Structure 1
Amino acid sequence: MTTTKQILMGLVAATSVCVLPNHSVNAASLINFEPVDGKFPDGSLAVDNMPITNQFSSLGVTFGIDRNQDGLPDAGLFPRLEAVGSSDSIAGFESTNGGEDDTAAPGFEDRLGNFFLRGVGSLANGESLLISYTSPTKAASAEIWDIDGRPTGLGEQWEVQALGSDLSVIDSIVSPAGTFPLETSPLEASPWFWSFDRPEKDIHAIRLVYTGSATGVGLAFDNFSPLAVEGSEPETNTSVPEPTSAIGLLIFGAFAYRLRKGK
């Protein structure tokens, strides 16, 4: 006949080889605007020039345009999905260095992929991309593509703003200014990577504001990591019992089972 001691010894031995790690094993989801089997997480079919709003709401973010910079999405204005290459008259960026519009510089093709996010039209002046969070985050990262200059000396430039609970700016990052000639410009048809990594989860929205002096500028946004700097692991609020706690729960359950059987 199996005794209570034998049951408890078996439980302790089994628990010692299946201890759960005391950290999250989930990686942050990277939004690169590449559909899986032609679809986005909400099930919508990916089509060139389609409005992007809540297709990624299951990942805790929605996209909009904030022209008046009040931290809220403007009604009826949405960023658009843009296919790479000059398939239509609307471009996210001009590859004036001998290539097609919306085409990555040599060596960056895989990074850009087949799709990215652009503004409402081909010009982003005054159209600030807004990313709103369902729950605040402490970290995020992404890329703005094709920050270059003009022969007149004017250059493109962006400011990435982190907005707090009252939608005021709590942190910001300014891109390098675009340079000319394009043959030597490091960001011609190439990505500028930015990231936030703050001490606490106080980022409620992220806004991209065009601050450059050049006009006729498009927006190309890609490879957005909403919960962590790309390549790192996000923090979670999920607590996992320590091994001793798990063993204690199993032992308590075993005693309760033996007591019920003994009645």
Structure 2
Amino acid sequence: MKPVTEYEDYRIYMKDYYDEKKRVSSFSWREYARASGFTSPTYLKLVCECKTRLSPQGAEKVGEAMNLAGFELEYFKAMVTYCHAKTDQERKLAYEVMLELASNNKVKIVDGDAFRYFESWVHPVVRELAPVMPGATPGDIAKRCCQGVAAGNVRDSLDFMVKTGLLKKNGDNYVQADKHLKGSTAAVSVALRNMHREMAIFASEAVSRFSSSERNFTGLTMGISAEDYNLILQELDTCRKKIAQIALNSRRTERVYRLNLQLFPLTWGEDK
């Protein structure tokens, strides 16, 4: 069975534990519940089927019943908190606890690097700036950022990207590595939504912060069908790829820009 730190959903871990025990013995849901201190023989089965949930106290009892201890037990409890979080901010905080527990014990979490990269605007901006500023200090790079960022945060970002292979260090210079972080877990989606919120705020500020020669804002309000919507998404994706190719072929970087492609509803659908 995989280590608990390779899981993001505590219910899947519980079900895998049950299946593994069942495979080598006559283990039952009744025995599972009794070992965890629950009177209902089907309670943990209902938990795994997402029909009920574990409380923080229940998480500790179930974790101990599965022979988890130390940081693995704390990870399992944090995973329960993560799964039951009601907002992205609560999920983000719980996942950061999971990351810290794993990091402190020299264990990697699936998609953990992707979560760290996408949770803040600093990493992608520094990744673009550092290679075009040979010999620059973290403080020099921080001063080039329109949004306020401390030199210490830039240093941490550089160290993180070198460690994950996104940047290669050659003396005092940095080179972009041909590597991209991708993640498919729900936690990465939380991090991406957080970055989208940050970038949307920056875009709003840019309307008055920069002259029209430095930024471009256009908009179109339109009534369309669901079929039209999907066709527009295809066009936007094609456009984004063409722009990415222009940037890839650019001879030099003078500034780092952010392109937000935003298409969102202003009214509810007919069924609402």
TM-score bin, normalised by smaller chain: under 0.3
Q: Counting strand residues as a fraction of each chain, which structure ranks higher? A: 1
More contact order relative to length (CA 8 Å, sep ≥ 6)? 1
**Whose radius of gyration is greater, 1 or 2?**
1
Q: Counting helix residues as a fraction of each chain, which structure ranks higher? A: 2
- TM-score, scaled relative to structure 2: 0.23
- TM-score, scaled relative to structure 1: 0.24
